[in-house]
Amino acid sequence: MIKNIGILTSGGDAPGMNTLIFNLVKFGIKNNLNIFGIYKGFYGLYKKKIKLLNNKNLSNISNTGGTFLKSSRFPELKNYKIRKKIIQNTKKKIDILIVIGGEGSYKGALELNKMNLPCIAIPGTIDNDILGTEYTLGYFTALENIVKAIDNLKDTSWSHNRISILEVMGRKCGKLALAASLACSCNLVITPEKKIKKEEIIQKITKINKKNISDNNIIIITENIYNIKKLAKEIEIKTKIETRSTSLGHIQRGGKPVSLDRIIAYKIGLHTIKLIKKKKLGQCIGIKNGKIINYKLKK
């Protein structure tokens, strides 16, 4: 009989994780399930940091950012002995493990699922880089944070007739940069999927500013492509337009989830508990054409 469900958040936290946990607990309890919170991701599973959750004390934090279960990266999970210990730790205590996280967390869920700890993986990352889902929990809030940052940046950049480079997160995925660029009509967007050589960047920016200095002189770039300080210097020398660079950093990952992330969290919570009741395990949850779907957890 399925009775005890464990939940953990792993990798980078994402806004909406708390809303999702709240809904999993709420719908879980309604369905006579015991919901256990595992603290600090897979590390907590290894160290037996497990506590029974109750939805009464969760409503206050249900719409806050971050994850109250805390998160961690736990590369040690690649080690078979560590996984074996986790399987021993969870035996008779947890029937199903819900893993909320990004790509790395999915790999962990897959490995434990193979070792007979049934897992359900839920996409929780601002990067929106998980195959099989159109959106991930936290993406829309991070996008909103970036858009607000660009609006602020534009005010000061425009006042000085400057070019500004804004670096955003995304790891190896340019979706945040691309969407923010569309939302703010930035002059240029550089993503891992469409890297642009420095010479080409300078050519494009020179062309845009040829007649008059543009009012939209924002270049948005995904992290880990160029050293943005150096790039700003080079652009300034070549275009003779003052250029500044800003890395948005972890600010974009925080804050209360926007409505869309809260609604996604609610729908995913409900769908996941329904799946559990149907004993459909070893699954990933996703969003397709606006609907919550599930598909097999596999490589």
Nearer of residues 12 and 269 to ligand F6P, judged by Cβ: 12
Residue 184 beta carbon to ligand F6P: minimum distance, rounded to whole angstroms: 19
Nearer of residues 162 and 253 to ligand F6P, judged by Cβ: 253
Distance CA 22, CA 5 (A): 14
Nearer of residues 118 and 170 to ligand F6P, judged by Cβ: 170
Position among 100, 126, 177, 219 found at the interface with ligand F6P (CB under 6 A) = 126
Residue 27 beta carbon to ligand F6P: minimum distance, rounded to whole angstroms: 27
Residue 234 beta carbon to ligand F6P: minimum distance, rounded to whole angstroms: 24
Instruction: Please identify which residue in the block is written with the tokens 């999993």.
Output: 24
Binding of ligand F6P by 262 (CB under 6 A): no
Q: Are strands 291-296 and 283-288 parallel, antiparallel or unpaired?
A: antiparallel
Q: Has 151 been annotated as catalytic?
A: no
Binding of ligand F6P by 125 (CB under 6 A): yes
Residue 142 beta carbon to ligand F6P: minimum distance, rounded to whole angstroms: 8
Distance CA 247, CA 245 (A): 7
Question: For the residues of 82-104, what is the DSSP string, one character each?
Answer: HHHHHHHHHTTT-SEEEEEESHH
Applying CB under 6 A, the span of 79-87, 123-131, 272-280, 285-293 interacting with ligand F6P comes to 123-131
Applying CB under 6 A, the span of 120-128, 149-157, 234-242, 288-296 interacting with ligand F6P comes to 120-128
Nearer of residues 11 and 118 to ligand F6P, judged by Cβ: 11
Q: Which of 95, 127, 129, 261 is catalytic?
A: 127
Q: Are strands 50-52 and 34-38 parallel, antiparallel or unpaired?
A: antiparallel
Residue 30 beta carbon to ligand F6P: minimum distance, rounded to whole angstroms: 32
State which of positions 153-192 bind ligand F6P (CB under 6 A). Answer: 169-171
Position among 6, 12, 124, 257 found at the interface with ligand F6P (CB under 6 A) = 12
Binding of ligand F6P by 102 (CB under 6 A): yes
**Annotated catalytic sites, by residue?**
127
Which stretches of the chain bind ligand F6P, using CB under 6 A?
A: 11-12, 102, 125-127, 169-171, 223, 253
